[in-house]
Chains A and B, each alone.
Chain A
Amino acid sequence: MKYLRMMLVLLTVVLLGNTIVLADVPKPVIPKGNAEECVLPKEEMRVDHMNYILHQRDETMHRGIRTKKFSLKGCIDCHTVKDDAGKIVSYKDKKHFCNSCHTYAAVNIDCFECHASTPTAKGTISSTGGKK
């Protein structure tokens, strides 16, 4: 009985603690993109962006379709966030556009283990060759 009561007290403390912590987590501040509006209404993008990107991923990889609307490159080019020094931050920074929400939602994404999380600087692309 004593044991049970102790458990109950402990549980209450843990639950209470959790509520306090939850209340302290600030709502994510989502940085605005560089364009006037997104490729779709933001409500739609917030819910479905992963599906659009996933679909586009397979279309590009396997069928060579390179439309710009749902390309990850498009997201990265538009949703840039700068740090205090004025440098565009990468996914490693908490301020990165994707991080702003994904940290809050505790959703880990693998995209940027391979993909560039900042726009490739102009002039570095294909430095080796010119047009055909």
Chain B
Amino acid sequence: MSKPGSETSKISRRKFLGTGITVAGMSVAPGVSLINVAEARPLDQPVSSKQRWGILVDANKCSKGCTSCVDACFTENGLNRGDEQHSRPGQKAQWIRKIDLRDKSTGHEVSLPLFCQHCEHPPCTDVCPTGASFKRKDGLVLVDKHICIGCRYCMMACPYKARSFIHEELTHQFEYAPRGKGTVEGCTLCVHRVDQGRNPACVDACNAAGHKAMYFGDLKDSNSEVSKQLKMHSSKAIRADLELNPGIRYRGI
């Protein structure tokens, strides 16, 4: 991680004024445009850019071999229910993966979950020819499957390999997680839960497993646990060089 000072000098004016939390958390005094929004939004109110949902993953606490978050994601969103009979393992839908990293020189190993990073500047939405890939005002990057034509440009554009294409007819989808053949899908940060003021399933599962390696919350609310944690210790964005400003940040990598 570069020093805070050197990072500050690199940022553009637009980023500084915008939601560049990468830098804002470190060098700018907190308290700028920090509006507290009630946790569960009324059903008839649209999402607003006063919030930005994000997760801090503490890789130091993430246990190698533990797949609680992956399993929870499968169960919650109805993935891997035996529908994809003809797809190879690599083709089957998976929204969250466990990655093990090893530093060759020191032998230090770290394990972390990798999923849609909910970028501020998502490349998937840039390349989408129909507007199906979009970023919701509260920062969630989603696929509108009603207008997705299944071209898979977004899968190629995503540097995190976060999206899956559904090759086969699906049955028994959950009512809150519609999924179907011929469309691309990825982590929604459990949008149906977030809209109820709840944590994504992976975060709850990680807590239930006792690791407590994931903090979910509003990155724009300085009082949220995730903001406090981000302020307290240094964290990294994966592939920060791409300047996508992901909403998912990592500690201990």
Query: Which A residues are closer than 8 A to B by beta carbons?
Result: 57, 59, 61-68, 73, 76, 113-116, 119-120, 124-132
Contacts and interface: CB of A to CB of B under 8 A. Distances in A.
Nearest to A90: B171
B47 interface: yes
B163 to A, nearest CB: 16
B118 to A, nearest CB: 14
B142 interface: yes
B174 A129 contact: no
11 contacts: A62-B136, A63-B47, A64-B136, A76-B175, A113-B181, A114-B145, A114-B173, A116-B175, A120-B175, A128-B208, A129-B208
Interface of B: 39, 41, 43-47, 71-72, 75-76, 134, 136-138, 142, 144-146, 169-170, 172-176, 178-181, 183, 191, 193, 195, 197-199, 201, 203-205, 208
A64 B138 contact: yes
| Main SS class of interface, A | loop
Name, among A66, A125, A131, the residue most crowded by chain B CB atoms within 10 Å (CB to CB): A66
A125 B173 contact: no
A125 B175 CA distance: 9
A74 to B, nearest CB: 10
Contacts of B45: 65
Contact of B173 (A63, A115, A119, A127): A115
B178 A116 contact: yes
B128 to A, nearest CB: 14
Contacts of A127: 75-76
Given A65-B43, A126-B76, 14 more contacts: A62-B134, A62-B144, A64-B41, A73-B175, A116-B175, A119-B175, A126-B193, A128-B76, A129-B72, A129-B198, A129-B199, A129-B201, A129-B203, A132-B198
A115 B75 contact: no
A45 B198 CA distance: 34
Nearest to A120: B175
A129 B207 CA distance: 9
B179 to A, nearest CB: 6
Contacts of B191: 64
Contacts of B183: 114
Contacts of A63: 46-47, 136-137
Contact of A64 (B47, B169, B178, B204): B47
A129 B205 contact: yes
A97 to B, nearest CB: 15
Contacts of A126: 76, 193, 198, 201
A114 B137 CA distance: 24
Contact of B198 (A59, A62, A124, A131): A131
A128 B204 contact: yes
Contacts of A59: 46
Contacts of A129: 72, 76, 193, 198-199, 201, 203-205, 208
Given A114-B183, A115-B175, A129-B72, A64 B195 contact: yes
